[in-house]
Structure 1
Amino acid sequence: MKLLLTSAGISNMSIQNALVELLDKPIVEANALFIPTAIYGIPNGGDIVRRVICGALGDPFCQLDWKSLGLLELTALPSIKKELWIDMLRETDALLVGGGDCQYLTYWMQQSGLANLLPSLLQKLVYVGLSAGSMIMTRFGTTYGNHTLPPDSDKSLSFVDFAIHPHLDHEWFPDNSLANIEKLASTIPVPSYAIDDQTAIKVVDSVIEVVTEGHWKLFNP
């Protein structure tokens, strides 16, 4: 299992280097699929999807120099032949899972059938999460705005046994102070990583590494 759980994408060279290490090849030789589904769960989602893909919003993600980049919209998967999108995933090196509404994303991960396939897929491809796309791989999450992720196995995928609290001290999220996250972390029975937008959590099987050019803090239960 190879995960790169970011707060805001590939926001600096340290995170980009970690991605290349996980891919075990240059980005220009890697095929990627972008899952925008979570973005449709927030206001102006359609326009935000466009801006993320074009690189007009946020840090680099889709617009890295991928060999190829495709879209995988989870809400469409139940209505098309399964072999069509499974074949796409088998040819993919990196699965880019965008941010937005955590619970909406988890729901469609499960309804589409992708959640059930991820354990086998993660033997080959690299999962790259951004904000909500990172949080759903954990057991617990923050409780502000669209980033509500209750301590309920039905609301997240629970691939890793820790919590991620992204966008630490971000001006768009005034409740995301270190003090507020520390209070939240004290109610969670697993380790909690508070990470800013210059930080990511790299997971290879059971080995966890913080990759950062910013600031972060680990709260143990």
Structure 2
Amino acid sequence: MKLLLTSGGVTNSSIRSALVELLGKPIEECHALCIPTAQWGHPMCNPGSVRRFINGGLPGLGWASVGVLELTALPSIGSDRWVDWVRQADVLLVDGGDATYLAHWMRESGLFDLLPSLPEMVWVGVSAGSMVMTPRIGAYFVEWPSAPDDRALGIVDFSIFPHLNLFPTNTPADAERWAADIEGPAYAIDEQTAIQVVDGRVEVVSEGEWTRF
């Protein structure tokens, strides 16, 4: 799987170019599935914010087709239905919310187990949709009351502090304190920055501000 881990989505030409390179063909020829699941685990999200994600943002980039993959529904319909939907897609567009909630439903749905068999799939994460791929998100970002701890999926070996300087509580000083508790490699990234991971190679794509701890 090829990863494009963002804070705010495809917000500039550099990130868009990285996405097209990962896809290997124009966006207009690619079929996307968007995953809003993380939103349900965050108290600041609601049906309106889910609608805004589906109607715009990453799904609005001009794909050949866009579908919705709601992970909480998958265990009730069986893998014989949904696995082919995923295999036929070129890209998964994964929105923010709570990363621990998303990690839980990736495991429960079976999507996590499917990922190793999708080497050409592109995963584009926004905020929690990026953080879910990391080992830990830090207690600072856990909003789901049922989360047992701050662990995520550990597909990459670094953690991510998103939305750098976007909110009063996401300053560089806040990021530094967060990183001290993570006890591992970490990046703080703003809305103009993405982290690209292909075959274990990590590259920062940015027209903004970022820090590696």
TM-score where L is the length of structure 2: 0.93
Query: Structure 2 unaligned runs (5+)?
Result: none
> What is the CA-CA distance between 1:120 and the residue it aligns to?
1.3
2:105 counterpart of 1:108: yes
Give the match for residue 125 of structure 2: 129
| Cα offsets for 1:185-205 (capped at 9, x unmatched) | 123232110000110000011
Look up the SS of the partner of 2:49 in the other structure: helix
CA distance in 1, matches of 2:185, 2:148: 13
Tell me the equivalent position of 2:20: 20
Partner of 2:178: 184
Deviation string, structure 1 residues 108-129 (Cα, Å, up to 9, x no partner): 11111111111112x1210111
- 2:117 aligned with 1:117, yes or no? no
TM-score of the superposed pair, with normalisation by structure 1: 0.89
CA contact (8 A) 1:140 1:151 kept: no
**3-state SS of 2:4 partner:** strand
Q: Offset of 1:52 from its aligned partner?
A: 1.4
Tell me, yes or no, if structure 1 residue 162 matches structure 2 residue 158: yes
CA contact (8 A) 1:144 1:175 kept: no
SS of structure 2 residue aligned to 1:124: coil
The alignment partner of 2:139 has SS state of coil
The CA distance in 1 between the partners of 2:104 and 2:185, in whole Å, is 24
Percent of residue pairs identical: 55
Contact 2:137 2:160 in 1 (8 A): yes
Correspondence for 2:31: 31
How many pairs were matched up? 210
Amino acid at match of 2:91: A
Aligned to 2:206: 212
Indicate if the aligned counterparts of 2:99 and 2:137 stay in contact, CA closer than 8 A. Answer: no
Deviation at 1:35, TM superposition (A): 0.5
Check whether the contact 1:5–1:200 (CA below 8 A) recurs between aligned residues: yes
**Alpha-carbon contact 1:5-1:202 (below 8 Å) kept:** yes
Corresponding position of 2:191:
197
Runs of at least 4 residues off by over 6 Å: none
